[in-house]
């Protein structure tokens, strides 16, 4: 068990239902881009749809085509830009595209993206929409941090799209779905929250969400460092006194990033600090006694939230989750599907 990822689809279903309740009538569209934030796109899409999500959202036409093979009739929305060739593929596969310019492709369902303050994709004024246009949307820059700015974006959107209220209007991401009722319109595009991770970087349990992913490894070797001895590249940890350390067979190639040095994992109910430089295939932790090889280690799971690691690494759970390497050559992936 170098690196074992467990995906709890029951938790994912409960998270979708929690969001449906919070949305009070608006639809949940499950955002499963980037392999469902590292959780496995096909598994997570199936579970989300089973729990009541009405559509899938991805970033690329390639991601959408992969899902189309499994879900032949589900609405799938590609949120990122598409090349001409991809537009043709989208048409053939019955996908919907988000368009951020004035040129509306023919023969494919289109959602026009209005830039109301994100300053990224999107047009600043809506054209008179041709019949391909079935939806209008915008994306919030600060739903997790600055409610006032988010509300101003929503108001701008509401005014601009008032004449288009017959189209499907969607604005909210996870943070807005949970905290900004006026963002709801017809549907919310929810990613992070369906995986049970907090869009606010706090404990997702506060919003009634439960983590879907857990990540385990093992102590592959324990060793005693005598005072003055070090572990790892660059001798970044030097023992001040005799210290037991454990070597875990995971490193940054598995997605356990170099900037996670200093974070804590859980071994036998105790929290242990990651010490020294994380290397490509190995990580050292400080122990308070010798442990036998094979002792289980919780990297993410009960008692260790991904949010804590994100804080140590100075990043978001989004980035950590996307970076976890679930390829079978590096990790064992276990899907638990208890109702
Ligand atoms: C990724 C994405 C989302 C989902 O955001 P979460 O914060 O994960 O809920 C919603 N809308 C757009 C346009 C996105 O790119």
Say if residue 105's pLDDT is above 80. yes
- The pLDDT confidence band at residue 102, using thresholds 50, 70 and 90, is confident
Instruction: Classify residue 3: in a domain, yes or no.
Output: no
pTM of the model: 0.96
Condensed to tens digits (0 to 9), the pLDDT of residues 213-245 reads 999 999 999 999 999 999 999 999 999 999 999
Question: What total of structural domains would you count in the chain?
Answer: 2
Q: Tell me if 173 CB under 6 Å of ligand 1.
A: yes
Domain boundary pick from 139, 166, 197: 197
142 CB-near residues (< 8 Å, 6+ apart): 149, 150
What is the model's pLDDT at position 321?
98
DSSP 330: T
Alpha helices in 132-254 (DSSP H): 147-161, 174-179
Condensed to tens digits (0 to 9), the pLDDT of residues 162-176 reads 999 999 999 999 999
Per the document, the length of the chain is 339
Is 37 known to be catalytic?
Answer: no
Catalytic residue, chosen from 17, 233, 252, 318, is 233
What is the model's pLDDT at position 339?
65
What is the model's pLDDT at position 126?
76
Q: Chain centroid to CA 301: how far?
A: 16
Do 186 and 136 lie in a common domain?
yes
CA of 31 to the centre of ligand 1 (A): 7
Say if residue 120's pLDDT is above 70. yes
CA of 231 to the centre of ligand 1 (A): 40
Say if residue 89's pLDDT is above 90. yes
77 vs 135: CA distance, rounded Å? 11
Is 223 known to be catalytic?
Answer: no
Atom of ligand 1 nearest to the CA of 174: 9
Catalytic residue, chosen from 33, 37, 195, 318, is 33
265 vs 244: CA distance, rounded Å? 15
More confident residue, 2 or 4: 4
Domain that holds residue 235: 213-336
Do 279 and 142 lie in a common domain?
no
Instruction: Classify residue 203: in a domain, yes or no.
Output: no
DSSP 229: -
Residue percentage of the chain with pLDDT more than 70: 100
DSSP three-state, residue 242: coil
Do 156 and 237 lie in a common domain?
no
Condensed to tens digits (0 to 9), the pLDDT of residues 266-284 reads 999 999 999 999 999 999 9
Do 172 and 307 lie in a common domain?
no
Instruction: Classify residue 70: in a domain, yes or no.
Output: yes
Contact call for residues 7 and 210 (beta carbons, < 8 A): no
336 vs 14: CA distance, rounded Å? 14
Q: Tell me if 56 CB under 6 Å of ligand 1.
A: no
27 vs 8: CA distance, rounded Å? 23
CA of 114 to the centre of ligand 1 (A): 15
């Amino acid at each position: 068990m170098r690196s074992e990822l467990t995906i709890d689809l029951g938790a994912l279903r409960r998270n979708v239902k929690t969001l449906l309740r919070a949305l009070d009538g608006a639809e949940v569209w499950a955002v499963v881009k980037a392999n469902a934030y590292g959780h496995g796109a096909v598994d997570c899409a199936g579970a989300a749809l089973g729990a009541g999500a009405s559509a899938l959202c991805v970033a690329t036409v390639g991601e959408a085509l992969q899902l189309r093979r499994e879900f032949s009739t589900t609405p799938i929305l590609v949120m990122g830009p598409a090349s001409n060739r991809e537009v043709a593929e989208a048409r053939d596969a019955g996908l919907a595209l988000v368009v951020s310019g004035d040129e509306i492709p023919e023969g494919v369902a289109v959602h026009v993206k209005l830039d109301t303050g994100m300053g990224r994709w999107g047009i600043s004024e809506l054209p008179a929409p041709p019949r391909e246009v079935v939806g209008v949307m915008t994306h919030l820059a600060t739903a997790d941090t600055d409610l006032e700015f988010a509300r101003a974006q929503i108001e701008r959107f509401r005014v601009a799209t008032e004449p288009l209220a017959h189209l499907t209007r969607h604005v909210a991401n996870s943070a807005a779905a949970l905290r900004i009722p006026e963002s709801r319109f017809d549907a919310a595009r929810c990613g992070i929250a369906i995986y049970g991770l907090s869009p606010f970087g706090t404990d997702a349990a506060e919003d009634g969400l439960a983590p879907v992913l857990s990540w385990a490894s093992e102590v592959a070797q324990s060793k005693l460092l005598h005072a003055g001895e070090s572990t790892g590249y660059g001798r970044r940890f030097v023992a001040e006194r005799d210290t037991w350390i454990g070597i875990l067979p995971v490193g940054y190639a598995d997605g356990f990033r170099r900037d996670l040095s200093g974070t804590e994992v859980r071994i036998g109910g105790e929290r242990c600090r990651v010490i020294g430089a994380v290397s490509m295939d190995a990580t050292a932790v400080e122990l308070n006694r010798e442990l036998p090889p094979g002792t289980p280690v919780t990297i993410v799971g009960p008692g260790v939230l991904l949010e804590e690691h994100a804080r140590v690494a100075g990043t978001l759970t989004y980035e950590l989750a996307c970076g976890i390497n679930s390829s079978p050559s590096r990790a064992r992936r276990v899907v638990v599907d208890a109702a």
